[in-house]
Amino acid sequence: MGAKFTIEGTKLIHEGYVVRSEVLSVRTPEGDLVEREVARHPGAVAVVAVHDDNIVLVSQYRVALDSDLIEIPAGKRDIAGEDPEIAAKRELVEEVGLETDELVQLGTFVTAAGFCDEQIIIYATTTCRKVPRRVEGPEEAHSEVVGVPVAEIGSWLTDGRITDAKTLIGLFWAREQGVVSW
């Protein structure tokens, strides 16, 4: 399936907190050598959480957009060796103050394959209990937990209140897999 490309070299151009940027030397099937910039990301987890008949979301500032965004709880997989399910449970506590013993994996998607290797694993839970939030960083400290009745979430998806890709994908996957219905 597809032509054979071969990565022949990698040059680090930036090592940051969120991503590492590299220039890759790639041999094409015709034998040409081309360069491509790639952002390396550790990946992320996200959770569609249902609590008291509400989809639990978080509204927080996103500097890349210079705006608040409404999202499902999520975070980077930035602890080496941490199981993705454990990371998802940790992020659920940090971002929205919910704890669960049961997560169902809905799927994994690639965010921007044209230039980045980030993959996000999305989970769902309908068995949550409230616990104190353990916020980390200024964006989380100034974020707001938003509960949306399950019956109303469909309108949030279609009227533009939710534009975040992982949130849209997660909520549609949750509906398609029978976790929620609206």
Residues annotated as catalytic are 140
Please state the separation of Cα 27 from the chain's center in Å: 32
Angstrom distance (rounded) from CA 50 to CA 90: 16
Is residue 165 left, alpha or beta, with left meaning phi > 0 and alpha meaning psi from -120 to 50? Answer: alpha
Residue 20 tokens, joined: 């590492």
User: Is residue 141 a contact partner of residue 167, using CB atoms and an 8 Å limit?
Assistant: no
Q: What is the sign, positive or negative, of the torsion defined by CA atoms of 81, 86, 92, 97?
A: negative
Angstrom distance (rounded) from CA 133 to CA 153: 23
In order of 17, 57, 74, 110, the CA distances from 114 in angstroms are 21, 28, 22, 10
Please state the separation of Cα 74 from the chain's center in Å: 5
